[in-house]
Chain A
Amino acid sequence: MADEREDILDERSERLLRYLEGGLEPAEREALERRLAEQPDLAAELEALRRTDRLLGELRKLDPVPAERTERAIWLAAARMREPAGGSVARRRRLGGMVAAAAILLAMGVGYFLGSLRGPQDSVTKEVIAQGVQPRVLDGVLQWLDEPEAGGQPASAGELLPWGQALVVAEASRIDLGDGTQLGLEPGAVVSILEPAEGQLRLEVSGGRWHLAGRKVPAAVVVADGATIQTQAGEVEVVGEPAEGFNGGGSGPVGIALAVFSGVVTLSNPAGQLTLGAGEMATATVADSPAKRVWEPSVQSCIDALSRWYGLSVFQQYEVGQLLSELRREQDWLVAPHEEELEALRERMSHFWLAQLENHGADARQYLEDHARYRQLLNESPYRLESILAQVEAILPAAQVSRAWSEVPQRDRMAERLGVTPSVLRYVTRRYELTGEQLIRLEQYLRGDRPSGEVLQTSFDDLVAAVNAVVPAEQIRRADRRAAQQFRQRRERRDALLAQLLPQLDWSQPQAWSEQVQQFARRVRLTLGQTDHARRVAEEITAVALPYYESASKKLAALERQMAAESDPAEQRRMEAGREELVRPMRAWADRLRQTLAQLATLEQLELAYRPTATDAF
């Protein structure tokens, strides 16, 4: 490295850079300017450094943080700073060894505890994660460990516990973790308050029994039939038909971040109004008018939103966080794959109206086509947030999911009565073609002897079992047949689209495969993750296929010449078999690449990519 440094920063460059910075003495500057006038290569070097400096200046002008993200981060930090400051700072002491041990546990992936919240936990060392900033003693008595300067005074009700401290529980105690969660500790337990990581409060508990009490959090707002939601940042109103959405922005001044799944809503505040359809997302803050966005929250803000919605426990937050991080690594997060096309269509349609207004010639047919395509994309495209919610719901207890959805005012009353989410009820009703009467029988079956006032919490399996109990067997069989048929149809449709869209990878053209893969990725609008995977597989395959082909093609050419000259049919067959042997690996590689592409694309992506030709359409 030392040699390299010297290569890069020779005396000449150093002098020129100091000259650019105005750091040379007058005599040095004059001498250099004389040399610059005499030596064109030196002047060229100076000009190159100037250009680099100018480019850096341009880079500096680009703010890496969008204004709304800055605003949100500042708001959040300011809110945390406003929370009451910590006490007992004099007692602060780093638990170097314990923190290091915790770090090692974390690194080994065993530091997190994902157990049940119901009963007290045993004395194995566990880590507790919460969203608060600083824990506070609610009641009980805890003795500071290794703190002679604290004068032996124990921590008691109201005391804030600073990071880096460890305490042993003298009398049964409860600690408020700042996010509504309470940590209950029995005598003998040792609790250490670790340094926060990623904005989360972390405690380590060992040596005694403990439990966590769940918290009550207000659910995020979901737009429902006829509902109007008012927050400081704006108002959401359902237009016409029932609508469903998810507000990840909460109800505070930080704003609304609304994703609409179905129906149409308006989002308005004094600064403006816009209309959102299914699959669209918009934000509004107190200061800014509503604006459409591509939903792109950080993992943490997603966890926050989901916590509000489902009332996640601290452990569930961790689990959901893992899931979201995984999804984020695998996918383009929540960015809709057709976003670019939607944008292009919006632009073309607005140009059409401008041209109409200015009495220029406008292609109405193109506009109608664009409009139809736009509606198709909005109505049929899967919205990834919805699928993410489904995945999150899959790892949560059904009762919790049900509670989250059933807390929404004016939601589907039947779903609430059955104790399931509206989406589960929709699915089951559609699949088994349940009548209203059957739904009521279903409720009676599920309720059994329980009093009518008791809220039902039904798992998906229980619901399906109940359907099987109350619905005639023939209806169930019909539903199963229909589901199997739909599955078949879906597979056939997918095969048919793949036949149209998959590239024909010619075994004798391996140098073209990568480009063909790229073309397919563009046409089908594979996500970045999918594209990366396809590219990686293509690179791996061509890395072996190309050198093989180079060597095999010479043998093939020679073999083909021999075959042309050979008149003995038996010998010709033998040569043909030899040729096939040579070609077989190439065919196998091409097939493997095609299979990879076929597996990557979803039916929805293929549907979106497949456009009938003009002849088909008209």
Chain B
Amino acid sequence: MGEPDDLVERCRRGDPEALEELVQQHGPAILRLLARYVGDLGRAEELFQETWLRVKSGLKRFRGEAELGTWVYRIALNLARDDRRRQGRQLDWRRAATESIVASPVEQLARSEQLERLQRAVDELPEPQREALVLSKLEGMTYRQMAQLTGAPEGTLRSRVHWAMAALRRQLGELGEA
């Protein structure tokens, strides 16, 4: 998530090109994270725009205590957490399935019943464990990156991921898939 210092400085000065560079650099991963987190692409896109509005408005307050990328991720993650809390835990699978009609990669997911069941099982995990699993296994973050992002100790995050893995294994095992 690291960026050159001059990008950070230019962003803080409000240099439009630097801000755009920041969006280009982190945007795809953040949108993906939001889509995975909230389970609704349309909503993820809305949160994505809100993330950058907050980044823009808050840049001057950014003191460099974390890396700029981590800070942006944290804003996105907080928005996604709030949204999920507001929406309740149930994802709208019917809508996700409808969207998958046009989204070829997601369409593949929808076609794969096994992966869909896995996705559903992930969604049913308790929130802290689900978040840790999404960041670790689906977003490929290290425990250190996760700790920087969430503020939780690495050991806690590791045990959340392990707990989630064991729960998934048990659930998929009951379905005869693991």
Residue ranges of A at the interface with B (Cβ–Cβ < 8 Å):
1, 5, 8-9, 13-14, 17-18, 23, 48-49, 51-53, 55-60, 62-66, 69-70, 73-74, 76-78, 80-83, 85-86, 89, 133-134, 162-163, 196-199, 293-294, 296, 298-300, 332-333, 335, 339, 528, 532
A-B contact pairs, 13 of them (CB 8 A): A8-B170, A23-B158, A48-B169, A49-B165, A49-B169, A58-B112, A60-B137, A65-B35, A74-B23, A81-B52, A89-B60, A199-B50, A335-B101
Given contacts A8-B166, A294-B101, contact A199 B49 (CB under 8 A): yes
Of all chain B residues, which has the CB nearest A300?
Answer: B46
B102 touches A66 (CB 8 A): yes
Query: Which of B14, B106, B162 has a CB less than 8 Å from the CB of A17?
Result: B162
B residues 36-76 near A (Cβ < 8 Å) are 36, 41-42, 44-46, 48-53, 55-57, 59-61
B105 touches A81 (CB 8 A): no
In whole Å, how far is A104's beta carbon from the nearest beta carbon of chain B?
A: 14
In the bound complex, residues from chain B placing their C-beta under 8 Å from that of A5 are 163
In whole Å, how far is A143's beta carbon from the nearest beta carbon of chain B?
A: 22
Query: Which of A59, A64, A89 has a CB less than 8 Å from the CB of B32?
Result: A64
Additional A-B contacts beyond A64-B32, A77-B27 (9; CB < 8 A): A48-B178, A60-B139, A62-B108, A66-B103, A70-B28, A80-B49, A81-B20, A298-B45, A528-B94
User: B4 contacts the other chain (Cβ, under 8 Å)?
Assistant: no
Interface residue tally on B, bucketed by range? 35 or more
In the bound complex, residues from chain A placing their C-beta under 8 Å from that of B7 are none
A62 touches B105 (CB 8 A): yes
B residues 89-127 near A (Cβ < 8 Å) are 94, 97-99, 101-106, 108-109, 112, 114-115, 118-119, 122, 126
Of all chain B residues, which has the CB nearest A82?
Answer: B16
Which 7 A-B pairs have CB atoms at the shortest separation, nearest pair first?
Answer: A85-B14, A298-B42, A81-B19, A64-B35, A77-B52, A66-B103, A199-B49
B31 touches A70 (CB 8 A): yes
B23 touches A66 (CB 8 A): no
A17 touches B166 (CB 8 A): yes
In whole Å, how far is A203's beta carbon from the nearest beta carbon of chain B?
A: 15
In whole Å, how far is B160's beta carbon from the nearest beta carbon of chain A?
A: 10
In whole Å, how far is B65's beta carbon from the nearest beta carbon of chain A?
A: 18
- Interface residues of chain B: helix, strand, loop or mixed (majority): helix
B138 touches A63 (CB 8 A): no
B56 touches A81 (CB 8 A): yes
Given contacts A73-B27, A81-B22, contact A60 B101 (CB under 8 A): no
In the bound complex, residues from chain A placing their C-beta under 8 Å from that of B140 are 60
Query: Which of A65, A300, A333 has a CB less than 8 Å from the CB of B31?
Result: A65
In whole Å, how far is A99's beta carbon from the nearest beta carbon of chain B?
A: 14
Number of A-B contacts (CB under 8 A): 184
In whole Å, how far is A51's beta carbon from the nearest beta carbon of chain B?
A: 5
B94 touches A81 (CB 8 A): no
Question: How many Å lie between the Cα of A5 and that of B170 in the bound state?
Answer: 12
A76 touches B49 (CB 8 A): yes
Given contacts A62-B105, A63-B105, A162-B57, contact A17 B165 (CB under 8 A): yes
In the bound complex, residues from chain B placing their C-beta under 8 Å from that of A13 are 162, 165-166, 169
In the bound complex, residues from chain B placing their C-beta under 8 Å from that of A300 are 42, 45-46
Of all chain A residues, which has the CB nearest B44?
Answer: A65
Given contacts A59-B119, A86-B57, contact A528 B98 (CB under 8 A): yes
In the bound complex, residues from chain A placing their C-beta under 8 Å from that of B101 are 294, 296, 335, 339
Given contacts A1-B126, A298-B42, contact A9 B16 (CB under 8 A): no
In the bound complex, residues from chain A placing their C-beta under 8 Å from that of B166 are 8-9, 13-14, 17, 49
In whole Å, how far is A322's beta carbon from the nearest beta carbon of chain B?
A: 16
Given contacts A63-B105, A78-B20, A81-B22, contact A55 B178 (CB under 8 A): yes
Question: How many Å lie between the Cα of A8 and that of B159 in the bound state?
Answer: 12
Given contacts A59-B118, A69-B45, A296-B99, contact A53 B165 (CB under 8 A): yes
A56 touches B20 (CB 8 A): no
Question: How many Å lie between the Cα of A65 and that of B158 in the bound state?
Answer: 27
Given contacts A59-B138, A66-B104, contact A8 B163 (CB under 8 A): yes
In the bound complex, residues from chain B placing their C-beta under 8 Å from that of A51 are 172, 177-178
User: B147 contacts the other chain (Cβ, under 8 Å)?
Assistant: no
In whole Å, how far is B169's beta carbon from the nearest beta carbon of chain A?
A: 4
In whole Å, how far is A128's beta carbon from the nearest beta carbon of chain B?
A: 17
Interface centre among A53, A56, A86, A293, by most chain B C-beta atoms within 10 angstroms, is A56
In whole Å, how far is A202's beta carbon from the nearest beta carbon of chain B?
A: 12
Question: How many Å lie between the Cα of A56 and that of B36 in the bound state?
Answer: 13
Query: Which of B23, B36, B99 has a CB less than 8 Å from the CB of A78?
Result: B23
User: B24 contacts the other chain (Cβ, under 8 Å)?
Assistant: yes
Given contacts A56-B138, A74-B24, A77-B49, contact A299 B105 (CB under 8 A): no
B163 touches A9 (CB 8 A): yes
A333 touches B98 (CB 8 A): yes
Question: How many Å lie between the Cα of A133 and that of B106 in the bound state?
Answer: 32
B52 touches A55 (CB 8 A): no
Of all chain B residues, which has the CB nearest A10?
Answer: B166
In the bound complex, residues from chain A placing their C-beta under 8 Å from that of B22 are 81
Question: How many Å lie between the Cα of A332 and that of B51 in the bound state?
Answer: 28
B24 touches A78 (CB 8 A): yes
In whole Å, how far is A605's beta carbon from the nearest beta carbon of chain B?
A: 17
